[in-house]
Amino acid sequence: MAEFWESNFKEKQEMWGLKPAKSAILSKDFFIKKNVKNILIPGVGYGRNAQIFKDNGFDVTGIEISKTAIELARKHYGTDMTIYHGSVIDMPFDSRKYEGIFCYALIHLMAKEEREKLILNCYNQLTENGYMVFTAITKEAPNFGKGKRISKDRYEFHEGAKLFYYDKESVQEEFGETGLFEITEINESQPFYLIKCKKGKTKL
């Protein structure tokens, strides 16, 4: 996956523009409402979704696998945000506990065991009563079922990009033990679920 993301960032640079995703805006509002002050963003990319949190007073830490993306983040947004260079699979990168975690459009690019590890590692880095918000592509996406079938509900439509398409049952299966309390449908570049979990909360 490292090679895939590095080549994408080198070739396409700021491929999604500099405006934050709708999910980032909604999550910023949610975290403000819950009085969250510091957040971790696994897969921070070149920082477009981090900046809206920084602009609203959050202490933001990122994790990013692509050196090119980190360089772009520094170019656009300065050097005052900690960004760990490495794969989210290798979390944790510090011993800190975070009040909030925002993970955008990353988890569906992973194999099942990697998804499970990421969810658990994020949950373990939350403070008690902390929140984590994930976005994940759904089976309503136009490319669902197209391309090379890798495994159940997982397809390679573009070379190197193997996507797992979620339905509510698979969200429940993968997030149910980590404080899942809300699943919201949201339309961005693709139809996504906005998945919210709270540490210490019982099952949905």
User: Residues 34-77: pLDDT tens digits?
Assistant: 999 999 999 998 888 999 999 999 999 999 999 988 998 888 77
> What are the domain boundaries of the chain?
2-198
* Distance between CA atoms of residues 125 and 113, nearest Å: 18
**Of 40, 53, 11, which is closest to residue 106 (Cα–Cα)?**
40
At the topology level, CATH places domain 2-198 in Rossmann fold (3.40.50)
Confidence of residue 98 (pLDDT cuts 50, 70, 90): very high
3 state SS of 129: strand
**Of 140, 145, 141, 138, which is closest to residue 183 (Cα–Cα)?**
138
**Torsion, CA 86, CA 92, CA 97, CA 101, rounded to 10:** 50
User: Residues 159-199: pLDDT tens digits?
Assistant: 778 999 999 999 999 999 999 999 999 998 899 999 999 99
What's the chain's average pLDDT? 89
Report which of residues 161 and 156 the model is more confident about. Answer: 156
